[in-house]
Amino acid sequence: MRHIRTLTGRRALAVAATAGLLLPLAACGSDTGTGPQDGTSKPSTGSPASGSGAPAAQLTVLAAASLTDVFETAGAAYEKAHPGTSITFSFAGSQELVAQVAQGSRADALVTADTKSMDKVKADTGAPTVIARNRLVIATAEGNPFKVDELKDLADTKLKVVLAAPEVPAGKYSAKILDAQKITVKPVSQEPNVRAVLSKVELGEADAGLVYRTDAESAEDKVDAVEIPDAQNAIAAYPAATIKDSENAAAAAAFVAWLSSPEAQKIFQDAGFQKP
């Protein structure tokens, strides 16, 4: 059975700061840096999964918050194809996940929302592979009551705008596109991950926010998405890698490799992600 843990707000920040004290997780820029796993992880202690070609294991996967919905679908598909394997996903901002890995939190694989975050723990992971890409949109309340039509509208001081914090991949991408257009935005808050930005707009605590297209699509009954032209946008890359200290090295490598398979890629693209 698959479990999901999502870290948001103050609790997420506290986890990042004290990752080295965590108990093992419960069962549940330059966009380059692709490549096969390097095979430096410890041998897996799992037993072979019936008919799957990969060892059975209970995997813990640390994943960027914007992957929450698609990984629930992908995890179910993987478990069905690999009897005996169960996956726990722990979702948070990429910067928080990287802090956990750097401080020795036990996990088997890591998927971030940018390559720069992954690069910070390259000594602790196998070679990463970009498995999907994404782009930003402006999320507004349903019906777009404030008539936000383009990026420059976010500079209106009467508008309550929320952004991801500067250290978060979504925050970095947001700053990049706003700076490029010489648009100054004074957000009412800066959130620890992109899902927290989306939540603020959903709850009416913000009039608009910059989120990934897939986040807006996951809440299409609660928010509207205003497209940002390609020439003004930024492309987010999602690298995935095994964690070298994993006790389920072979099973973790099999899962990371599967994320690039046609079956997994269809799941990503059906959810609105772009090809790697």
State how many domains the chain has: 2
Does one domain contain both 42 and 108? Answer: yes
Structural domain includes residue 128: yes
Residue at 276 is within a domain: no
Q: Please indicate, yes or no, whether residues 213 and 158 belong to a single structural domain of this protein.
A: yes
Cβ contacts of 60 within 8 Å, gap of 6 or more: 24, 25, 27, 28, 87, 88, 90, 106, 107, 108, 109
Let me know whether 116 and 152 are in one domain.
Answer: no
pLDDT at 54: 66
**Pick from 248, 249, 25: which is nearest to 126 by CA?**
249
Tell me if 275 is assigned to some domain.
Answer: no
Question: Quick one: 249 and 113 in the same domain?
Answer: yes
pLDDT for 53 equals 59
Say whether both 252 and 117 belong to one domain: yes
pLDDT of residue 13: 38
The reply to whether 121 and 162 lie within a common domain is no
Question: Considering the entire predicted model, what is its pTM?
Answer: 0.79
The domain in which residue 74 lies consists of 3-133+237-270
Q: Are residues 126 and 147 in the same domain?
A: no
- Residue 145: the pLDDT is 96
Sequence length of the chain is 276
Please tell me the predicted confidence (pLDDT) of residue 201. Answer: 97
Same domain for 246 and 156: no
Query: Do both 187 and 244 map to the same domain?
Result: no
Task: Give the model's pLDDT for residue 101.
Answer: 97
* Whether residue 117 sits in one domain with residue 174: no
Q: For residue 162, what are the CA distances in angstroms to 48, 80, 95, 125, 186?
A: 47, 39, 19, 33, 9
DSSP character for 169? H
DSSP 188-237: SEEESSHHHHHHHHHTTS-SEEEEEHHHHHHTTTTEEEEE--GGG--EEE
Q: Is residue 197 part of a domain?
A: yes
Q: Read off the CATH number of the domain in which 66 is found.
A: 3.40.190.10
User: Does residue 184 sit in the same domain as residue 250?
Assistant: no
Same domain for 84 and 158, yes or no, is: no
Reading the chain (276 residues) residue by residue, the pLDDT tens digits are: 444 444 444 344 343 343 333 333 333 333 433 333 333 333 344 444 434 556 778 999 999 999 999 999 999 999 999 999 999 999 999 999 999 999 999 999 999 999 999 999 999 999 999 999 999 999 999 999 999 999 999 999 999 999 999 999 999 999 999 999 999 999 999 999 999 999 999 999 999 999 999 999 999 999 999 999 999 999 999 999 999 999 999 999 999 999 999 999 999 999 999 999
What is the reported pLDDT for 140? 97
* 110 domain-assigned: yes
Q: Are 236 and 213 in contact (CB under 8 A)?
A: no
